[in-house]
Structure 1
Amino acid sequence: MKNFKTKIMGIINANEDSFFKNSRFYGSNAVLKIEHMISDGADIIDLGGVSSRPGSIAVSWEEELNRVKPIIDLIYDEKLYEKVKFSLDSYQPKVLDYALNRGFSIVNDITGLENDEVCKIASKYNAQVVIMHMQNNPENMQKSPEYDDVIKEIDTFFNQRIKKAKNFGINNIVLDVGIGFGKNLQHNLLLLKKLEHFKHFGYELLIGASRKSMINLVIESTIEERLPGTLAIHLESIKNGASIIRCHDVKEHYQAIKIQEAINNVEIL
């Protein structure tokens, strides 16, 4: 199986209701934060204009574009896309089209290419696509999620969506099992433990568990207190096959990953 270089995807949110308030930025403040993330070791910046936390309600594409457009324009004007790759966390075709036309190169789709129009736009720009698994939708996904076999069902989902992507000419694919998206604690832990299973597809695996509520279900903690748990999950994910880590705390992840790599690469005398 192919091994991929570990990459850090830093999170920037342009909406008031993202679950972690320290990830919310606007206009020039967002650009300043992006520049800090780049210097801290980010390889990718993932911009989002709509919350996908449990219970969140979707907004119109016009509202979403209104939120992310000023940041996309500044990224484009300052040519920041020449320093790192930019990803848009969206499943709205018109919003994605705007971003991909202005320096963005990754579509991070929590619906896993459900919409054919998203497929067409990704193909048009030859964009990399993150196919994420989610049971139901953000508004109701955490209301007693159930699976007969969570590994098998997500494997089947990936198989179907990879075929769909290829039918639209999309070949640059990343898979995301969707930690916390229609999964209970047991599902999340099992997916993390068995993550290596999904390497058989031959694509990069992305994990994003940054400060998520599953940490609180293991040990009671506020969102602000969950960095240690986040690092534990993400380091274990890398060990089990993940190569893209989506996180709020880039500097801390960079240090932790470099230490992990140093231990793995040391020569035994």
Structure 2
Amino acid sequence: MKQTSSTYLNVNGQLIDLAVPQVMGILNVTPDSFYADSRKQVEADIAARAKQILDEGASIIDIGAYSSRPNAEHISAEEEMSRLRNGLEIIRKNHPDAIISVDTFRADVAECCVRDYGVAIINDIAAGEMDQRMFETVARLGVPYIMMHMKGTPQNMQAEPQYENFLKEVFLYFARKVQQLRDLGAKDIILDPGFGFGKTLEHNYELMAHLEEFAIFELPLLVGVSRKSMIYRLLGGTPQEALNGTTVLDTVALLKGADILRVHDVREAVEAVQITEKLKSQWKL
């Protein structure tokens, strides 16, 4: 189990204390995300989903307008921003104080969301690989930045991903990226190991088995395994049937040092946090 001191994220002048892990609820304003129940496109559905995320105990709403599922259709920045504007306007109207993260790999989209809608966090699946201006942009904006490990792009990442030394490559990738960001003056860097992105089933479980080793970076760790194929391909079934497996892996991740869980099912993740925190408090006695 990872032992760390309390870490704070500065989000729009508010401090989020990661001494207790936080839950980030997924709101997809896309027509094609892998989990059909997460797709919200009309105002009533977007508003209801944002309310549900907050009511069930999440501290962050993560809104995405570009599906990053394997073989996803590539859409333009204009289309992505159009979808985001619609969703962000609805969230801001109904929940003006909500902490919002935007899931985008595009620097211009990130800047527009922060500048025009007060978005607090940028969540980049590509860690700057799909837009070379992203690192400079987030450093200049001064917002917390989640960078994920992904080999390839959403269009090709699952085409037989291969590594010479899987864990070594992931750790060296983050070491290089963290240094680049720090050289630019970026603050509040969050690491996402990228479960399901350019990784086989075995890679995903190897990553989970060694999750506590990310403590070497002394940075917050986000884990997103919600309803992913590493669960339903192992157990059989579909994303719709992967809630129990998600909760199991979320619990393992929390015990191995996860600071933020990115999930579709907020209530279950919040309960996992409460139970693991109670358990860890007994271990400390």
TM-score, normalisation: structure 2 = 0.89
Task: Report the equivalent of 2:119.
Answer: 104
SS in 1 for 2:221: strand
Alignment of 1:118-137 (within 5 A): 118-137=134-153
What is the one-letter code of the residue matched to 1:64?
Answer: E
Following superposition, the deviation at residue 5 of structure 1 comes to 2.2
SS in 2 for 1:8: strand
Quick check: 1:208–1:246 contact (8 Å CA) kept in 2?
yes
Quick check: 1:28–1:71 contact (8 Å CA) kept in 2?
no
**Out of 45, 58, 69, which is 1:29 matched to?**
45
Following superposition, the deviation at residue 76 of structure 1 comes to 3.0
Quick check: 1:41–1:251 contact (8 Å CA) kept in 2?
yes
**Out of 171, 184, 197, which is 1:155 matched to?**
171
Following superposition, the deviation at residue 204 of structure 1 comes to 0.6
Partner Cα distance (1:267, 1:62) in 2: 51
Unaligned 5+ segments in structure 1 are none
What is the one-letter code of the residue matched to 1:103?
Answer: G
Following superposition, the deviation at residue 28 of structure 1 comes to 4.0
TM-superposition CA deviations, 1:130-182 (whole Å, max 9, x none): 11000111111111111122111011000111111112221210001100000
Partner Cα distance (2:111, 2:79) in 1: 15
SS in 1 for 2:91: helix
Unaligned 5+ segments in structure 2 are 6-18
**Out of 224, 235, 238, which is 1:219 matched to?**
235
What is the one-letter code of the residue matched to 1:120?
Answer: E
Give identity over the alignment, percent.
33
Alignment of 1:228-239 (within 5 A): 228-239=244-255
What is the one-letter code of the residue matched to 1:187?
Answer: H
**Aligned CA-pair RMSD:** 1.7
Alignment of 1:6-85 (within 5 A): 6-26=21-41, 27-78=43-94, 80=95, 82=97, 84-85=98-99
Quick check: 2:50–2:91 contact (8 Å CA) kept in 1?
no
Closer/same/farther in 2, CA of residues 260 and 112 from structure 1, 3 Å limit: same
Quick check: 2:223–2:258 contact (8 Å CA) kept in 1?
yes
Partner Cα distance (1:151, 1:81) in 2: 41
**Out of 4, 19, 41, which is 1:2 matched to?**
4
What is the one-letter code of the residue matched to 2:224?
Answer: G
Following superposition, the deviation at residue 124 of structure 1 comes to 2.6
Quick check: 2:46–2:90 contact (8 Å CA) kept in 1?
no
